[in-house]
Amino acid sequence: MDQKDLKLSKKLISSYRNRLEKEILDRSIKLRMPQNKFEEIIKNNNELINLKKALDQLETESETQSKV
C-alpha cells in the first residue's frame, strides 16, 4: 500500500468512526441517558475498538513506509 492509499484509508476509517460516535451520542441524548453512560458505551463498543486498532495499524504502516 502506498502513502496515498494509507492516507485515504485513514481518512475513510476516521470519518466512519466519527459518524458512529455521533450516532451513539445522538441516540443517547434522545434517550436522555447520563453522559457517563454513553461515554462508557463509546469506550466499550466493539466496532469502535476495532476501528481504533485499524487506524493504529495504518499509522504504524505509514510510519514504517516513511522511514524507507
**What would the pLDDT profile of 39-63 be if each residue is shown by its tens digit?**
999 999 999 999 999 999 999 988 8
Provide DSSP, 6-67: HHHHHHHHHHHHHHHHHHHHHHHHHTT--HHHHHHHHHH-HHHHHHHHHHHHHHHHHHHHHH
Q: Which residue has the higher pLDDT, 68 or 48?
A: 48
Range of the domain at 12: 3-67
Grid coordinates representing 57 are 495499524
Number of domains into which the chain is organized: 1
Question: What single letter denotes the amino acid at residue 38?
Answer: F
| pTM given for the model | 0.82
- pLDDT band at residue 3 using 50, 70 and 90 as cut-offs: confident
